């Protein structure tokens, strides 16, 4: 890989012991093994109020928004593990996307997303593994110019799927998750070369 891509990996869950946080770390390992620089972030470290244009225009920018914006702007690709809340993505994930897709003096409205690649993952305690959330996330990201890889992983019955150390018990599932990470890394590198 001639170009070393920067990949930002995160889960759309705020819960401390989130299964999706565990899942995205495994995908990040796959991206690192493929030669990418990967930063795993936790959205709880970047608290944002619910997006509201009045808040955006009439109050100071949220304290950590500029830091988060810089990370997304610098990234060549994303690994996103989305929980499924009521058959869709979490409010935290949607709110983050909404704030980051706003125009700033430095970046046009879709600048932190436009033309970048993303790999999608999900896990839940249910039988579909969060698959319905990925349909919505794929649509949202595609609409703001993200190149979303066609392959994705949804791990069902999360309560039984992970070891106490946070890795997947099933080797085939783990291999699939690692492949998503590697695919984001190699695709991002090709797009930048």
CATH numbers and ranges of domains, the chain: 6-192 (3.40.50.360)
Q: What angle do CA 107, 93, 174 make, to 5 degrees?
A: 110
Distances 147 to 19, 20, 141, 180 between C-alpha atoms, Å: 25, 21, 8, 14
Shortest CA distance to 38 belongs to which of 148, 193, 189? 189
Instruction: Provide the mean pLDDT of the chain.
Output: 94
Tens digits of residue pLDDT in 116-132: 999 999 999 999 999 99
CA–CA distance, 187 with 3 (Å, rounded to integer) = 11
Closest C-alpha among 93, 67, 77 to residue 34: 77
Residue 105, both tokens: 């003096």
DSSP conformation class of 185: H
DSSP character at residue 182: H
SS3 for 74? helix
Q: Is the pTM of this model over 0.75?
A: yes
> What per-residue confidence (pLDDT) applies to 104?
67
* Predicted pLDDT at 102: 87
Q: Check pLDDT > 60 for residue 65.
A: yes
- Residue 116's pLDDT is 97
């Amino acid at each position: 890989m001639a170009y070393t891509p920067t990949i930002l990996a995160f889960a759309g869950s705020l819960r401390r012991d989130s299964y999706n946080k565990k899942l995205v770390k495994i995908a990040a390992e796959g991206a690192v093994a493929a030669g990418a620089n990967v930063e795993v972030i936790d959205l709880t470290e970047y608290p944002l109020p619910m997006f509201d244009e009045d808040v955006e225009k009439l109050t100071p920018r949220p304290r950590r928004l500029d830091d988060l914006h810089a990370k997304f702007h610098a990234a060549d690709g994303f690994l996103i593990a989305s929980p499924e809340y009521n058959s869709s993505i979490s409010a935290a994930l949607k709110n983050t996307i909404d704030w980051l897709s706003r125009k700033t003096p430095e970046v046009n409205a879709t600048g932190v997303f436009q033309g970048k690649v993303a790999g999608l993952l999900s896990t839940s305690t249910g039988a579909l593994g969060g698959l319905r959330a990925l349909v919505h996330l794929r649509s949202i990201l595609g609409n703001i110019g993200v190149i979303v890889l066609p392959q994705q992983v949804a791990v069902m019955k999360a309560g039984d799927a992970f070891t106490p150390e946070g890795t997947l018990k099933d080797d085939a599932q783990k291999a699939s998750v690692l492949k998503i990470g590697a695919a984001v890394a190699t695709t991002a590198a090709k797009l930048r070369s």
